Amino acid sequence: MMKKIYLDHSATTPLDKRVFEAMLPYLTEEFGNPSSLHGYGRSAKVALENARDKIAQMLNSKSNEIVFTAGGSEADNLAILGAAYSPQARGKHFITNRAEHHAVIHSFASLEKNGFEVTYVSCDQYGMVHPDDIAKAIRRDTALVSIMHANNEVGTINPIQEIGEIVRKNGALFHVDAVQAFGKIPIDVNQMNIDLLSMSAHKLYGPKGVGGLFVRSGVKLQPQILGGSQERGQRAGTENIAGVTGFGKAADLCRMEMTDESARLHSMQANLGKAICESISGTQLNGHPDLRLPGHLNVSFDGLMGDEILMMLDLKGIAVSTGSACTSGAVTISHVLKAMGFDDSRSRGAVRMTLGRSSEENDLPYIVDSIENCIEKMRSA
């Protein structure tokens, strides 16, 4: 049988068996609606609040500052649109960066169409946002600044605490898309001056379609989903009890295993990057060399198309992703690599490899050999 190696943990992760076990009762016997007053409802309510406690513990926040959503995209939308349309909004000006996830970029595009003003600060060649640029862009009518904790394409970690200090000093709200960082690196919303923070369960071995937004006490958002008074009136709809239980369990496991797992992934990623660059000519590492997510690697192969490398590796059972997508013959280049100032050739040749719990050091030689083999074939063709 062909070896199967999953190197796309930044796209999604498999559900951890321990998470599945924790969810199972809430998909079967424990089916109550937490708004119901009888025993079924009360036990669902207990599960909901237990999950909330676990997420809060990860962030050093209060439990009642966590709003559950149907994933990271919804959390980003709620933070940005919810702050813009809030009666509390201080002004109509917003700041973000060009390398954000589309859930953030497209939320701001929608605001621009509706009469709001958005300043897009650039990032450096590593994909990092500089606090000075935020300080220069911030104004008295800036309602919110949104900067991601770690970039999903290149893995670079932004100086969130420093940016948070500037935003706090200037009286705007600070939103952080921490979907990639949550569960992988420590986050303290108080120390980092964060007012709003987005999370998603499926990026940390939890189920898909569940996430959350940390909303600092006192911050009032305009709800984006209207209906019942669930989630303290901030997000209507009967809660996904199995989902949030899985999310809580997944967060708990990350909290307990983070130190060891990130050390393991850091070293494996360094070894993989080094081996690829040593055995294959014309390679360049993308993203910050040190300030990056554990297990996150992004490499450009000179003169080649990332998409073609992806297809060839897929035939060998290795799953990676790219910085460009070829849709109906036209190549669209990643907005992240463009924002980093790369020429089209370096962007087109970019391949993202993200390691995770299933990755093992002794798979590295097979991975490197397979990539080397593909590249040789493509270059000689």
Ligand X SMILES: *Cc1c(COP(=O)(O)O)cnc(C)c1O
Residue numbers annotated as active site: 326
* Shortest spacing between CB 156 and ligand X, in angstroms: 12
DSSP letters along 93-143, please?
EEEEETTS-HHHHHHHHHHHHTT-EEEEE-B-TTSPBPHHHHHHH--TTEE
CB of 106 or CB of 139, closer to ligand X: 106
3-state secondary structure of 360: coil
Say whether residue 179 binds ligand X (CB under 6 A). yes
Residues 137-156 that bind ligand X (CB under 6 A): 148, 152
Tell me if 65 sits within 8 A of 214, measured CB to CB.
yes
Q: Hey, which residues between 154 and 173 contact ligand X (CB under 6 A)?
A: none
Residue type, 268: M
Min CB(27)–ligand X separation in Å: 20
Q: Which is nearer to ligand X, 32 or 287 (CB)?
A: 287
**Does residue 243 interact with ligand X by CB under 6 A?**
no
16 binds ligand X (CB under 6 A): no
Instruction: Enter the DSSP assignment of 227.
Output: S
Say what the alpha-carbon torsion angle 255, 260, 264, 265 is, to the nearest 10 degrees: 10
Using H for helix, E for strand and C for coil, what is the string for 281-309? CCEEECCCCCCECCCEEEEEECCCCHHHH
- The minimum distance between CB 28 and ligand X, in angstroms, equals 25
Question: Given candidates 32, 82, 211, 223, which one binds ligand X under the rule CB under 6 A?
Answer: 211
Instruction: Assess 73 for contact with ligand X (CB under 6 A).
Output: yes
Q: Which region, judged by CB under 6 A, interacts with ligand X, from 15-23, 176-184, 349-357, 367-375?
A: 176-184
Amino acid found at 194? I
Query: Considering only 174-182, 315-323, 325-333, 340-348, which stretch makes contact with ligand X by CB under 6 A?
Result: 174-182
Q: Determine, following the binding rule CB under 6 A, whether residue 200 of this chain makes contact with ligand X.
A: yes
- Alpha-carbon distance 140 to 124, whole Å? 26
- Who contacts 289 (Cβ-Cβ below 8 Å, separation ≥6)? 126
Give the distance from CA 324 to its chain's centroid.
18
Q: For ligand X, which residue of 34, 72, 164, 246 counts as binding (CB under 6 A)?
A: 72
Please identify, among the stretches 27-35, 87-95, 134-142, 198-206, the one whose residues bind ligand X according to the rule CB under 6 A. Answer: 198-206
Contact 340, 124 (CB under 8 A): yes
Locate the DSSP E strands across 169-316: 173-177, 196-200, 211-215, 283-285, 296-301
- Which of 8/43 has CB closer to ligand X? 8
Options 16, 65, 177, 239; binder of ligand X; rule CB under 6 A: 177
Segment near ligand X (CB under 6 A), from 25-33, 67-75, 262-270, 292-300?
A: 67-75
For the segment 91-110, give every residue that binds ligand X (CB under 6 A): 101, 103
The single residue among 180, 230, 334, 359 that binds ligand X, judged by CB under 6 A, is 180
Euclidean distance between CA atoms 302 and 300, whole angstroms: 6
234: tokens are 């901030």
**CB of 73: closest distance to ligand X in angstroms?**
3
| Among 195-203, 213-221, 341-349, 364-372, the segment contacting ligand X (CB under 6 A) | 195-203
Q: Between 100 and 252, name the residue whose CB sits nearer to ligand X.
A: 100
Q: Rounded to whole angstroms, what are the CA distances from 184 to 36, 278, 290?
A: 36, 28, 15
**Residue 364: phi, psi to the nearest 5?**
-60, -45
Q: How many of the chain's residues bind ligand X (CB under 6 A)?
A: 15
Using a 10 angstrom Cβ sphere, with 0-12 exposed, 13-18 middle and 19 or more buried, the burial of residue 343 is exposed
Comparison of 22 and 336: residue with beta carbon closer to ligand X:
336
Instruction: Give the binding site for ligand X (CB under 6 A).
Output: 71-73, 76, 101, 103, 148, 152, 177, 179-180, 200, 202-203, 211
